[in-house]
Amino acid sequence: MIAQTNKALQGALDAIDLAVADCRHENAALIGAKCRGMLRGYDRLYRNAGYETLHVERLVTADLINPETQRTSRTFSIAGKIDIIAQMGNRRTIIDHKTTSEDISDPNAPYWRQLVIEGQVSHYALLAWLNGEKVDDLVWDVMRKPGISPKKLSKADRAAVVSSRKYFDVEMSTETLEALQVDERETLEMYEARLAHDCTTERPQWYFQRRPVPRMDNELLEYAGELWDHGQEILNTRNSGRNVRNSGACMMYGSACKFLGICSGYDQPDSDKWQRKQQVHSELELAGDGKDVLTNSRIRCFQTCKKKHYLTYELGIERIDEEEREALLFGTIWHFGLNEWWRFFHA
């Protein structure tokens, strides 16, 4: 088996294994191997970065305030779950995890240009500020998803592994050595070892990047104004009942929106395929139904399609038999491991 190098990594790998064991997705084991291999590279690159962890996935709430008039909204509050709050020396930092399939090694890549105006860290920094915990730094912690998959091996390659009992200098288990007698492809253990080597030794900067996110006080105040305006727009839409569809968003991210059947008239929100959520922000632990809480995800949904926003956050329905997409599942399992890794460095 692959040797465990330290307690932080071991805890992260165990968290991934638990998440995979609880998952029914047909590719859960492969996704787990990807996350395990990636975390080995992440750990090697960042274990001595010098951060001390203050909070992991901290839920923060605050009033929605108009920065021009200091008026507090009578309807909405704001909330968010901050991935990491850490400190290095006397500087307090919000660190937000991202996963992507885009190029992150080029500092001028479109991915980074878009993140310059991304509102998520502004949302988190504003929440901290409103709670009297102004941070000094904001950091994007980005991981690029693996571009390699388990590959077919030649007979000579398989024989070499069986003879040496190692693959990329990692000792293989008896199960893997036996599997190579009949299978021409890498086992998941072998794939994990090759991926770990790639993101640790060959191309760490291809897979991992951390970038500071400059946000001046005036920029956070500008974001606070935008957030207030979004709240007014949502309130006006709620009062008018005009939840306009955006047909350009029906096939975003390479797949159909889960509400496409409803919007196209082939389904109804009250059919037996749907159920009401008790709390519309599934990622947060909030009191009540959450319909008067604004998050960054909700704002982005409203900007994308008002009909989708209505069904998700106003009506609050979800499919009964919905399966998590593989890309989203990868992000979920990666976060499980990453959060456990960060907990080890608690101040």
Provide the 8-state DSSP code for 106.
S
Q: Tell me: the pLDDT tens digits for 90-101?
A: 999 999 999 999
The residue range of the domain holding 269 is 222-319
Q: Which two tokens stand for residue 64?
A: 């929605």
Does residue 301 sit within a domain? yes
Q: Give residue 196's pLDDT band: very low, low, confident or very high (50, 70, 90).
A: very high
In this prediction, residues 80-99 reach a mean pLDDT of 96
- Give the residue-averaged pLDDT of 14-42: 94
In a domain, residue 49? The reply is: no
Q: In this model, does residue 43 exceed pLDDT 90?
A: yes
Look at residues 308, 141, 152, 299 and name the one whose alpha carbon lies nearest to residue 233.
299
Position 4 confidence tier, pLDDT thresholds 50, 70, 90: very low
Burial of 229 (0-12, 13-18, 19+ CB in 10 A): exposed
Question: 5 falls in which pLDDT band (50, 70, 90)?
Answer: low
**What pLDDT score does 6 carry?**
87
Task: Give the per-residue pLDDT at 2.
Answer: 38
Q: C-alpha dihedral over 300, 305, 311, 316, to 10 degrees?
A: 10
Q: For the chain, what percent of residues have pLDDT higher than 70?
A: 98
Of 131 and 5, more confident? 131
Question: Rounded mean pLDDT of the chain?
Answer: 94
Report the alpha-carbon distance of residue 162 to residue 147 in Å, rounded.
Answer: 26
DSSP 283-338: TS--SS--TTEE-HHHHHHHHH-HHHHIIIIIS-EEETTPPPPHHHHHHHHHHHHH
SS3 assignment for 172-213: CCHHHHHHCCCCCECCHHHHHHHHHHHHHHHCHHHHEEEEEC
**Averaged over 108-124, what is the pLDDT?**
92
pLDDT higher than threshold 70 for residue 1: no
Task: Kindly report the pTM of this predicted structure.
Answer: 0.91
Give yes or no for residue 18 having a pLDDT over 70: yes
Phi and psi (nearest 5°) for 320? -70, -40
Sign, CA torsion 95/118/99/328: positive
Confidence of residue 323 (pLDDT cuts 50, 70, 90): low
Does some domain include residue 147? no
Instruction: Give the pLDDT mean for 71-90.
Output: 96
Q: Is the dihedral of CA 243, 249, 250, 252 positive or negative?
A: negative
Judged by DSSP in three states, 138 sits in strand
Per the domain annotation, does 14 fall within a domain? no
Q: Does a structural domain hold residue 229?
A: yes
Query: Is the pLDDT score of 334 beyond 90?
Result: yes
Average pLDDT over residues 223-248: 96
Is 111 inside a domain boundary? no
Q: What was the pLDDT predicted at 102?
A: 94
Query: Is 299 inside a domain boundary?
Result: yes
Count of domains observed in the chain = 1
Residue 347 predicted with pLDDT over 90: no
Residue 3 has pLDDT above 70, yes or no: no
Give the DSSP H or E segment for 21. helix 7-21
Q: Give yes or no for residue 324 having a pLDDT over 80.
A: no
* Mean pLDDT (whole number) for 128-150: 95
pLDDT higher than 90, residue 328: no
Asked if the structure places residue 282 within a domain, the reply is yes
Mean pLDDT value of segment 226-241? 97
